[in-house]
Amino acid sequence: MVRIAHISDSHLGSSLFQLIERREDARKCLGKAVDMAMRHSPDILVHTGDLFHTPFPMPDDTNFVVGLLKELNDNVTVIVLQGNHDIPYGYRHAQSPIWLLENAGLLQSTGESDNRELSIDVDGKEVKLHLISWTRDRKFERYLNSMNSTGDITLLFSHHIPIDYDKLPARYDYVGCGHAHNFRIDEENNVGRPGSTCVVDWKREMGGSRKLIIADIDTSGIEFTTEKLNDVREFKFHTGLDITGMNSHEANDAIKGWLSSLSPKKKGQPIIIMNVNGIVTPETESGIERNGIIEYGEKRLEPLFLHIEPNWEVAGPAPVSLTEPLNVETSLKEYLHYSEHASADKVLDELRKVSGGG
């Protein structure tokens, strides 16, 4: 049997909402995921790309990875693909940080190329690995069709799979991928996607999950085990508040009331993200006191960060039906009536003076 531990998309160096604390959180989340994986004693530990958030990582992130990999080096075969965030596009002489770590002997990847085939012996079984780092969709399909060699166990790992899973060749005992930040397992096609190791892009990840995937594979089939990967910082995602039809005072009170219903965190500083939905008028939107609401929420809840996402829509002006389009006074009167203009009477008085009316 061959045991695979599969993680992905750690995005070291990312700082959600520009929070410097999130850089350290990302490192802690990766360390936690690796520790969890190693407790299963895998033969191969695979990270399917976007280890870093940028191809030019800060020294703190690079040093953390080097230290982590040195601890693993004698215990497990480590494979890390190059994700789209790991590749220095547009820089002639720049090298991917994954390539540099590979040259240092700390991991195996696809080198200067975007694809590679490896053969590893695990307890006398030949394990053939087909690796595809981030590449164009057409190149992915070309590589997929050209990789025909097989071993006792044949695996495919790709940062991104741009085709339907049921179109993958049946010769692979397990296919692992990343890129999309949410967990998914397709047991019918033996495809696993663990999701990210930390919260990176909350809009993509809200409502999903992140899990360590353990795949036990032998010639008779595959068995999956998963463990939930929680971020080291608590995230509170809240949706469902609808301010349709409210004026600005009612909307402000509704949002503050929702914040008042939350209990302050006794330990640690969470990140609170609140989606506010609905259809509002331009007047209501301009009167929503977001800064004041955020100050109120921060004072009450003491989060690391409070974000209110304006997920509402602003209704445009209602159509006005004019009964006498060529009658200026009648048309203006009807328009002012429909628009509920505060100065309607004054405007009509001025119009009568100009037109010579009584």
Backbone angles phi, psi at 344, to 5 degrees: -60, -50
- Using a pLDDT cut of 90, give the percent of the chain over it: 77
Predicted pLDDT at 318: 62
90: pLDDT strictly greater than 80: no
Query: Crossing angle, helix 21-38 and helix 59-72, to 10 degrees?
Result: 10
Picking from 228, 253, 270, the residue at the C-terminal end of a domain is: 228
SS (H, E, C) the chain: CEEEEEECCCCECCCHHHCCHHHHHHHHHHHHHHHHHHCCCCCEEEECCCCECCCCCCHHHHHHHHHHHHHHCCCCEEEECCCCCCCCCCCCCCCCHHHHHHHCCCCECCCCCCEEEEEEEECCEEEEEEEECCCCHHHHHHHHHHCCCCCCEEEEEECCCCCCHHHCCCCCCEEEECCCCCCEEECCCCEEECCCCCCCCHHHHCCCCCEEEEEEEECCEEEEEEEECCCCCCEEEEEEEECCCCCHHHHHHHHHHHHHCCCCCCCCCCEEEEEEEEEECHHHHHHCCHHHHHHHHHHHHCCCEEEEEEEEEECCCCCCCCCCCCCHHHHHHHHHHHHCCCCHHHHHHHHHHHHCCC
Determine the pLDDT at residue 350: 74
Q: What is the CATH number of the domain that holds 147?
A: 3.60.21.10
Residues 6 or more apart whose CB falls under 8 angstroms from that of 342 comprise: none
Q: If you average pLDDT over residues 320-325, what whole number do you get?
A: 74
**Mean per-residue pLDDT for 243-248?**
94
Q: How far is Cα 225 from Cα 174, in angstroms, rounded to an integer?
A: 13
The answer to whether the CB of 227 falls within 8 A of the CB of 185 is no
Residue 261 Cα to chain centre, angstroms: 28
Burial call 4-23: b when 16+ CB within 10 Å, e when fewer: bbbbbbbbbbbebeeeeebb
Same domain, 47 and 152: yes
219 and 252 part of one domain: no
Residue-level length of the chain: 358
Res. 349: pLDDT tops 90 = no
Same domain assignment for residues 50 and 107: yes
| Ranges 230-239, 260-269, 346-355, most confident | 230-239
Q: Which of 138-152, 215-229, 329-343 has the highest mean pLDDT?
A: 215-229
CA 224 from chain center: how many Å?
A: 24
> How many whole angstroms from its chain centre is CA 15?
12
Domain end call among 228, 255, 275: 228
> What pLDDT, on a 0 to 100 scale, did the predictor assign at position 355?
66
Phi/psi-derived region of residue 53, left when phi > 0, alpha when psi is between -120 and 50, beta in every other case:
alpha
Same domain, 83 and 136: yes
C-beta of residue 50 within 8 angstroms of C-beta of residue 83? yes
Q: Residues 119-145: what's their mean pLDDT? A: 94
Query: Are 348 and 305 contained in the same domain?
Result: no
- Answer yes or no: is pLDDT of 325 > 90: no
Same domain, 39 and 146: yes
- Can you read off the two tokens belonging to residue 258? 């929702």
What is the chain's mean pLDDT, rounded? 91
What pLDDT does 94 receive? Answer: 78
Q: Does residue 185 share a domain with residue 112?
A: yes
> Two tokens at 33?
């995921």
**Residue range(s) defining the domain that contains residue 336:** 321-358
Using pLDDT thresholds of 50, 70 and 90, give the confidence band for residue 240.
confident
Range scoring the smallest mean pLDDT among 89-93, 214-218, 242-246, 297-301: 89-93
Q: Pick from 211, 228, 245: which residue ends a domain?
A: 228
> What's the domain count of the chain?
3
Average pLDDT over residues 73-94: 88
Angle in degrees, CA 184, 233, 63, rounded to 5: 85
Q: Which two tokens stand for residue 240?
A: 């469902």
Q: How confident is the model at residue 313 (pLDDT cuts 50, 70, 90)?
A: very high
Instruction: State residue 153's pLDDT score.
Output: 94
Does residue 132 share a domain with residue 68? Answer: yes
Kindly indicate the confidence band of residue 342, based on its pLDDT and cuts at 50, 70 and 90.
Answer: low
Judgement on whether residues 190 and 265 belong to the same structural domain of the protein: no
Question: Residue 331: pLDDT above 90?
Answer: no
Q: How far apart are CA 354 and CA 352, in angstroms?
A: 5
- Per-residue confidence (pLDDT) for residue 268, from 0 to 100: 85
249-280 confidence digits (pLDDT tens): 999 999 999 999 988 877 789 999 999 999 99
Give yes or no: residues 57 and 172 share one domain. yes
Are 183 and 165 in the same domain?
Answer: yes
Lowest mean pLDDT segment, chosen from 73-87, 88-102, 292-306: 88-102
Q: What is the average per-residue pLDDT within 61-85?
A: 95
Q: Could you give the count of Cα atoms lying within 13 Å of 80 in the half-sphere of its Cβ?
A: 27
| pLDDT surpassing 60 at residue 358 | no
Same-domain check for residues 134 and 239: no
Q: How many CB atoms lie within 10 A of CB 339?
A: 12
Top-confidence range, 67-71, 282-286, 319-323: 67-71
pLDDT of 291 reads 93
